[in-house]
Chains A and B, each alone.
Chain A
Amino acid sequence: MNSVIHVNDDQFEEVVLKAELPVLVDFWAPWCGPCRMVAPLLDKIASEYSGKIIVAKVNTDEYSQWAVNYRVQGIPTMLFISKGQVVKTQVGALSESGLKNLVNDFLAGKI
């Protein structure tokens, strides 16, 4: 069973961009309410889709380099990255079913 991986600025390239598996990366901060709402859903995705997707999180409070690179100006922002390329950007919290639909479409190559 996989869990969410917390990455810093230096690890981002290796863990997210060079990953074999598709990656869902969440930019968040501890004081952000919508981020807290998404957090347990991301834990669920990491465990239920274990082996199919990597779920990574970047705390923008501590590590801002990649948030700046991707022009993240609101959190939570979730990027769906396949082989180093962003294929979908989701800004703001969403429901469990909404997130699962996005993940399913992402894994099926529909987005």
Chain B
Amino acid sequence: MEDNQIKNNSNESQKASANYDVVIIGGGPAGSTAAIYAARSGLKTLVVDKGLTSGALGITSKIVNYPGIVEEISGAQLVEKMREQAKLFGAEYISDKVIGVDLQSETKSIFGNGSVYNSRFVIISTGSMGRGVRIQGEDRLLGHGVSYCATCDAAFYRNKDVVVAGNTDEAIEEALFLTKFANQVYFLSQTERLAAPQELVETLKNHPKVILYAGTKLKEIIGENRVEAVLAVQSDQHEVLLSVSGAFVYLQGGRPVTDFIQGQLEVSQSGCLIVDSSFQTSIPGVYAIGDVLCTHVKQVVVSAAEGAIAAMAIEKEINGRSRMMVDWSEKKQ
């Protein structure tokens, strides 16, 4: 039964493998604004995003300086409004985690955990919440109990105990997926509050197989040849040792999320993606916008502006214009 469910999911996501004019990786303010402009100009647009609260804006509790939005609004609410606007113009959103890309060919392939997406143009707007430092034991036990993909590996943990470390909706979704197989899922959130929609948090908290440790930091993954336990530290500095067979890690940091590019794009000496004035990278047809660029000023309005510039440049390329088309509506006389 459980296996059938997975296969059905897999079949569903296969349907999404159609060709697009532009695939946008990351649906924060940069990616969603690009989606608004691309979809409005008639381009078949797909945004692949791993969750509403996975980015920097998702954890920003209050935005007060976004022009035109006077009322107090959370980052997640603002980005949700942008997504709704993009969808109104025909942009599609798919929840999937991009794990690799093939940017060399004319048709670019974007590999997600759920499916493969093909398009002529790609916009990278994955933000800068990538991880730097690894947990002790993590690299050594990767593939021997340490995993970053519950969809891939959950079936190996049937009737076993596992730990999930993270605090985003992505981490929660993965934990809930694991409950279909695992005996017990320990969920370690470094923060007291989870950065996810309340409904999802409640589902996690109320799940009989889940034990939530809020304000608890994963410190070490222990085991000789395979994961045997994890060591975590609670906010009151008490250490907890949990006996588990699997450790699923969805932690975040402050680095540009570029690992899925696997060296296909030129970077500067300091490791930053190189882009031109229209945010095109070293490969024609591939753009990078928003916080993933290290030189960028980390403000929502700047990310949004970069999204508009990149999408308009793509529209110009596709329609063979020498100048970007100005998009405005004049009042009819």
The interface of chain A, by Cβ under 8 A from chain B, is 29-37, 61, 71-75, 77, 89, 91-95, 97-98
B246 adjacent to A34 (CB under 8 Å): no
Interface of A is mostly: loop
B262 adjacent to A74 (CB under 8 Å): no
B144 interface residue per 8 A CB criterion: yes
13 contacts between A and B (CB under 8 A): A32-B149, A33-B114, A33-B149, A33-B151, A34-B100, A34-B113, A36-B111, A71-B226, A73-B245, A74-B143, A74-B146, A93-B111, A95-B264
Closest to B6 in A: A31
* Residues 247-264 of chain B, each 1 if its beta carbon lies under 8 Å from chain A, else 0: 000000000000000111
Cα(A36)–Cα(B115), bound, Å = 8
Interface of B is mostly: mixed
Given known contacts A73-B246, A93-B100, A95-B262, is B151 in contact with A32 (CB within 8 Å)?
yes
B99 interface residue per 8 A CB criterion: yes
* Residues 91-124 of chain B, each 1 if its beta carbon lies under 8 Å from chain A, else 0: 0000011011000000000011111100000000
B9, B157, B225: the one contacting A31 at CB < 8 Å is B9
Please give the distance in Å from A51's CB to the nearest CB on chain B. Answer: 26
Cα(A75)–Cα(B153), bound, Å = 6
Given known contacts A61-B3, A92-B142, is B147 in contact with A74 (CB within 8 Å)?
yes
16 new A-B contacts, CB < 8 A, other than A73-B246, A74-B156, A95-B264, are A29-B155, A33-B149, A34-B149, A34-B152, A37-B116, A61-B3, A71-B225, A73-B157, A74-B144, A74-B149, A75-B153, A77-B143, A91-B142, A91-B144, A92-B143, A95-B262
The interface of chain B, by Cβ under 8 A from chain A, is 3, 6-7, 9-10, 96-97, 99-100, 111-116, 142-149, 151-153, 155-157, 225-226, 245-246, 262-264
B10 adjacent to A74 (CB under 8 Å): no
Please give the distance in Å from A33's CB to the nearest CB on chain B. Answer: 4
A97 contact set on B, CB distance < 8 A: 263
B115 contact set on A, CB distance < 8 A: 33
A36 contact set on B, CB distance < 8 A: 111, 116
**Closest 9 pairs between A and B when the two form their complex, measured CB to CB:** A91-B143, A33-B113, A95-B262, A37-B111, A31-B10, A32-B152, A74-B143, A74-B153, A37-B100
Q: Which of B6, B111, B151, B245 has the most CB of A within 10 A?
A: B111
B264 contact set on A, CB distance < 8 A: 95
Please give the distance in Å from A61's CB to the nearest CB on chain B. Answer: 7
Please give the distance in Å from B74's CB to the nearest CB on chain A. Answer: 31
Cα(A29)–Cα(B10), bound, Å = 11
Q: Which of B97, B115, B152, B225 has the most CB of A within 10 A?
A: B152
B97 contact set on A, CB distance < 8 A: 33
A75 adjacent to B116 (CB under 8 Å): no
A91 contact set on B, CB distance < 8 A: 142-144
Cα(A4)–Cα(B225), bound, Å = 30
B144 adjacent to A95 (CB under 8 Å): no
A77 contact set on B, CB distance < 8 A: 143
Cα(A81)–Cα(B142), bound, Å = 20
B99, B146, B245: the one contacting A34 at CB < 8 Å is B99
Cα(A94)–Cα(B264), bound, Å = 12
Please give the distance in Å from B158's CB to the nearest CB on chain A. Answer: 11
Given known contacts A33-B112, A98-B262, is B144 in contact with A73 (CB within 8 Å)?
yes
